[in-house]
Amino acid sequence: MARTATIDQGSQRERALSNALREAIGSRKHDLWFGSPTTIGFHGATVRVRAATAFASEWIERNYADAIRQCADDVLGATCEVVIEAAPPLRDPAIEAMPETASATPAGSPMPAECDGAAISPAPRASSRSAACVSGAWRSFGEFIVGDANRLAYESARQMADSDDAALRVLFLHGSCGVGKSHLLQSVCRNFRERRPAARFRYTTGEQFTNEFVAAVRDGSIEAHRKRMRRLDLLVIDDVHFLANKTATQSECLHTIDAIGYLGAKVVLASDAHPREIARMSTPLVSRFLAGMVVEVGEPDRATRRALVQTLAARRGLNLTPAAVDVLVERAGSTAREIEGAILALTAVHAIEGGMEPPTRRLIDRALGSARQAGGSRPVRIADIVAGVCEVTGVEQVDLVGSGRHRRVVTARGLVAHLARELTTLSFPEIATALGRSTHSTVHAAAARFRASVAAGARVEDAHGTVDASELLDRAMRAMQRHRI
């Protein structure tokens, strides 16, 4: 009984601390940085904050440590010590997910920077399809919105993750950009790891697979590379169509799949096209793809899009009326990623102009722009985004794609990367190519920095001085729409 009373008292203190912190820093910042997956609680006279990633813990330490300490002192009535830490990493914060030896790793670190944004992005997370965690960043089956067009793909992925059936060895998912392939791949990894914490697994992309193979050949470390890759229990390759027309890499992928298959490992792959429709892909490799389940992930139907709009809006804190939901279902786009981009744009406009009222049709029109009319519209092009961002930042396009590191140029690159990822179907490698970058990791990092600036209410440089990052985002979206018309 005494123990129960102690637990209740602890819960009450933590609720009081959460409420005090929300009042001190505002609901938006509180939900972004102290909602799930971040945990905060009292341990005696110590307040322990555990964030999903090192980035999140460092940001909280820099910006909110004093507020946490003050609120904790008020709640406890005594001086408190504040400890802010990151949850242990899940193997690797980027595309790498496989160590030399397997180990059971606690939940909570980032994932790859190239996820399709299938159905729902966990809110607030440490990534995007790079930073994803089991407690918030790795996407999960539970967050995936299932409809008629993707039900078979969803069930097939669950079977691969949960079943020990020796016959279920290869799954190939295909579909257009933004429909949920990478979400399902991340979910397979997450469930597989939860069921078999000591297993060896790897999540990578076709580009990363190619780069590592080429580097291993060049460095003379091919045997060590093969040793790492061919002792897996699960191999997951996203955007496998990247291997097209790369003869040596295709041969390496073929032998890798065969080698781990002999040991009973599972292979899950995703592509924009059916295996038979990938140009310049070797016949033996296509045969391996076809040896398993080949399942299409279709674009969401109206009912699924409606569920996406409602769920994503709720996660962004938008209280949509039924009429607003109907408008967004018609105008936000045909894929989950496009709907995410529309909700993001609406969130930004509502934060600036909407006040406490639910979003109106006028705000939706402002967010989506006149070019996104029902009945089909011209897709957002990265050229439009670049033109709009250059207009509001005063950065020349030649500087944007150059090597300069002036703060205004860096801000412009991050803004372009963020908008291109949210409003187009381009992957980070494709955005990197458009911005003249040799690797997509720099583009992903730039987008993440800009998102962090928006979330923190930071000021960034524009053409005339400094401005709030969210205001610059809004102005850039308006300028982009002018260039689209």
Which of 127-131, 146-150, 179-183, 282-286 comes out lowest in average pLDDT?
A: 127-131
Q: Count CB neighbours of 214 within 10 A.
A: 14
| pLDDT (average), residues 355-366 | 75
- Which residues face 170 on adjacent strands? 267
* Cis ω before 37 (30° cut-off from 0): yes
Which of 242-251, 294-303, 472-481 comes out lowest in average pLDDT?
A: 472-481
Amino acid at site 385 = I
Predicted confidence (pLDDT) at residue 461 exceeds the cutoff of 90: no
Judge whether 308 and 120 are in contact, CB under 8 Å: yes
Query: CA 91, CA 234: separation in Å to the nearest integer?
Result: 14
| Alpha helices (H) in 230-351, listed in sequence order | 247-262, 283-290, 302-315, 322-331, 336-349
Amino acid 204: pLDDT: 92
Query: CA 403, CA 275: separation in Å to the nearest integer?
Result: 38
Amino acid 485: pLDDT: 54
Amino acid 7: pLDDT: 47
CA atoms within 13 A on the CB side of 394: 10
Check: CATH 3.10.450.50 for 141-296?
no
Burial of 375 (0-12, 13-18, 19+ CB in 10 A): exposed
Query: CA 215, CA 37: separation in Å to the nearest integer?
Result: 36
Tokens of 130: 């790079």
Amino acid 94: pLDDT: 33
Amino acid 268: pLDDT: 96
Q: How confident is the model at residue 129 (pLDDT cuts 50, 70, 90)?
A: very low
- Between the two ends of the chain, the Cα-to-Cα distance in Å is 68
Query: CA 87, CA 179: separation in Å to the nearest integer?
Result: 30
Judge whether 343 and 316 are in contact, CB under 8 Å: yes
Predicted confidence (pLDDT) at residue 110 exceeds the cutoff of 50: no
Buried b (16+ CB within 10 A) or exposed e, 124-161: bbbbbbbbbbbbbbbbbbebbbbbebbeebbebbbebb
- For the domain made up of 2-86, give the CATH fold: GMP Synthetase; Chain A, domain 3 (3.30.300)
- The domain locations on the chain are 2-86, 141-296, 302-368, 382-484
Q: Are strands 201-205 and 234-238 parallel, antiparallel or unpaired?
A: parallel
Q: Which residue has the higher pLDDT, 416 or 102?
A: 416
Tokens of 144: 């995936």
> Pick from 117, 52, 72: which is nearest to 424 by CA?
117
Predicted confidence (pLDDT) at residue 237 exceeds the cutoff of 90: yes
DSSP element (H, E) containing 386: helix 382-393
**Cα 348 to the center of its chain, rounded Å:** 18
Query: CA 485, CA 370: separation in Å to the nearest integer?
Result: 8
pLDDT above 70 covers what percent of the chain? 82
Tokens of 399: 């500087």
Q: How confident is the model at residue 222 (pLDDT cuts 50, 70, 90)?
A: very high
> Pick from 130, 312, 154: which is nearest to 208 by CA?
130
**Given the structure tokens 């076809």, which residue do they identify?**
290
Judge whether 423 and 345 are in contact, CB under 8 Å: yes
Tokens of 197: 């914490």
Most confident of 143-147, 396-400, 431-435: 143-147
State pLDDT tens for residues 52-82: 666 667 778 878 888 888 888 888 777 878 8
Predicted confidence (pLDDT) at residue 130 exceeds the cutoff of 70: no
Q: Which residue has the higher pLDDT, 191 or 455?
A: 191
Judge whether 155 and 59 are in contact, CB under 8 Å: no
Query: CA 479, CA 151: separation in Å to the nearest integer?
Result: 39
Amino acid 45: pLDDT: 79
Predicted confidence (pLDDT) at residue 39 exceeds the cutoff of 80: yes
Q: Are strands 39-43 and 46-51 parallel, antiparallel or unpaired?
A: antiparallel
Amino acid 263: pLDDT: 81
Rg of the chain taking only CA atoms, in angstroms:
23
Tell me 240's DSSP state.
G
Domain at 302-368, CATH from 2.40.50, 1.10.150, 3.40.50, 1.10.8? 1.10.8
Q: How confident is the model at residue 36 (pLDDT cuts 50, 70, 90)?
A: low
Q: How confident is the model at residue 8 (pLDDT cuts 50, 70, 90)?
A: low
Architecture of domain 382-484: Orthogonal Bundle (1.10)
Amino acid 41: pLDDT: 84
DSSP element (H, E) containing 194: helix 181-195
Amino acid 126: pLDDT: 30
| pLDDT (average), residues 339-351 | 81
| pLDDT (average), residues 283-297 | 94
Judge whether 176 and 425 are in contact, CB under 8 Å: yes
Q: How confident is the model at residue 136 (pLDDT cuts 50, 70, 90)?
A: very low
